[in-house]
Amino acid sequence: MVSATLNGSGLPDYVAAAGTGAADAASFANWYTDVAGVNASTAYSLTLAETSPGSGIYSYSNGSFFPIDGMRFGNQGRSHNYHFTMHLEGLLSFNGSSVAGNQTFSFTGDDDLWIYVGGKLLMDLGGVHGAASGTFSELDLEAKGLTSGSAYDLDIFFAERHTSASSFSITTSLSIAPPPPPVSVPEPGSLALLAAGLLGGSSLRRRFIPRVR
């Protein structure tokens, strides 16, 4: 569905044929952008906690991921607000395979999930589906031309489109820091990602083909 690199606005472009996962490029362009009368956003933070002291592995797992229940356009008569998108931003760096072994980033959840590092697509779990999983490693980062010891923009684009469940799970040994401008420093044993916005509402849902939004 999406471009291999982010556009000049730091967002993915829809590159599939119309009706493939989304109605068309124009409607997809609204997913992660505030559009008056179509959607509304709110700030949100997500913290990855160290799985055990000194492990260097951080995770966040939520089998009932509904961060804007009752907010913005509301739940639309349902038990949860099932129609939203989320753009998480951070800074990612890695040590290099020859230094610290093979560090990884893994995700499991539904629905759409696209991850870009340094503006390059590293994970593509797009489409309406049950919980699906993906992983990339520092070897994959190097294969994209990224180098160890440098910090790269991490952009995670998520969309919830089912009306039955929503799950979101991250586990990583890669280094992740909050994006600039500086936000409050995470407490020891935690990593923070900052969500630029969560979009949701009946107006947005009607702009997409059935089962898409």
pLDDT in tens, the chain (213 residues): 999 999 999 999 999 999 888 889 999 999 999 888 888 888 888 888 999 998 889 999 999 998 888 888 878 888 888 888 999 999 999 987 655 558 899 999 878 899 999 999 999 998 777 788 999 999 999 999 999 999 999 999 999 887 888 899 999 999 988 877 655 555 555 555 555 444 443 222 222 111 122
Q: Torsion over CA of 145, 48, 155 and 186, rounded to 10 degrees?
A: -100
Greatest Cα pair distance in the chain: 54
Provide the whole-model pTM. 0.83
> Within 13 A of 167's CA, how many CA atoms are on the CB side?
15
Q: Do strands 132-137 and 175-177 pair parallel, antiparallel, or not at all (unpaired)? A: unpaired
Domains identified in the chain and CATH numbers:
43-68+78-197 (2.60.120)
Identify any residues that bridge with 136 across adjacent strands, giving them in sequence order: 105
Rounded CA-CA distance 171/88 in Å is 15
Q: How far from the centroid of its chain's Cα atoms is residue 213's Cα?
A: 17
Task: Decide: 139 and 104 in contact? Cβ < 8 Å.
Answer: no
